[in-house]
């Protein structure tokens, strides 16, 4: 994945494509995040978790380079995948807080709702960000790395964000609890057992 991202950045630099440079460069940076987290915070991450993180940004970068314009469903896949990643981060954070202190107990039903609402809110902020970039692009004539393609696109984006959120809200508690425990231990040391 990293080799292709470097190729996209090189293409952007060679042919004066700031969108390719921006998306490829940010994507390349994100692919190093799992290794940085493991090294700097001593938090061992499952290899599949690293693939999940890097796949979201990798597919977005490929979409920006070509697939969004050519394959209609590519945007839907990337929104669901990115939303699932945001949901996973939200759940992991919530669970790490829950197990950090005996005074904090977060019911599973609340975790489900929290994950869903966080992803929906993040999706709305993202769409507003894309809208603002469109305004700046129209006013300045500068090509932006992200763009909106109308109200239908925005609604579909939010729908697929919901799909990603529902998948993680439903299955995340089973598969991400161990990740939350490792994050908590990496940041705060071993947890004390609850009575």
Question: How do residues 119-162 score in pLDDT, each as one tens digit?
Answer: 999 999 988 998 898 899 889 988 776 777 788 989 999 999 99
How many angstroms separate the Cα of 83 from the Cα of each of 3, 34, 55, 89, 116?
25, 18, 12, 10, 10
Q: Give the pTM.
A: 0.81
Confidence at residue 107, expressed as pLDDT on a 0 to 100 scale: 87
**Residue ranges of domains in the chain:** 72-188
Q: Which residues contact 157 (CB under 8 A, 6 or more apart)?
A: 75, 79, 123, 126, 127
Low-confidence ranges of the chain (pLDDT < 50): 194-195
Closest C-alpha to 68, from 59, 55, 57, 81: 59
Residue with token string 């809208």: 131
């Amino acid at each position: 994945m990293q080799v292709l991202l470097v190729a996209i950045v090189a293409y952007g630099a060679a042919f004066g494509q700031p969108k390719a440079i921006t998306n490829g460069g940010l994507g390349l940076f994100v692919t190093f995040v799992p290794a940085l987290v493991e090294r700097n915070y001593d938090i061992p991450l499952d290899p599949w978790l690293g693939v999940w993180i890097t796949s979201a940004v990798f597919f977005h970068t490929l979409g920006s380079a070509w697939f969004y314009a050519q394959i209609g469903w590519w945007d839907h896949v990337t929104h669901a995948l990115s939303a699932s990643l945001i949901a996973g981060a939200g759940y992991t954070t919530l669970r790490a807080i829950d197990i950090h202190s005996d005074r904090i107990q977060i019911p599973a039903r609340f975790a489900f709702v929290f994950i869903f609402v966080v992803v929906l809110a993040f999706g709305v902020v993202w769409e507003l960000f894309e809208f603002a970039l469109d305004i700046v692009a129209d006013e300045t004539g500068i090509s932006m790395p992200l763009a909106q393609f109308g109200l239908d696109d925005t609604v579909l984006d939010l729908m697929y964000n919901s799909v990603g959120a529902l998948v993680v809200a439903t299955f995340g508690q089973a598969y991400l609890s161990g990740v939350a425990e490792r994050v908590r231990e990496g940041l705060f040391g071993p947890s004390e057992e609850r009575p």
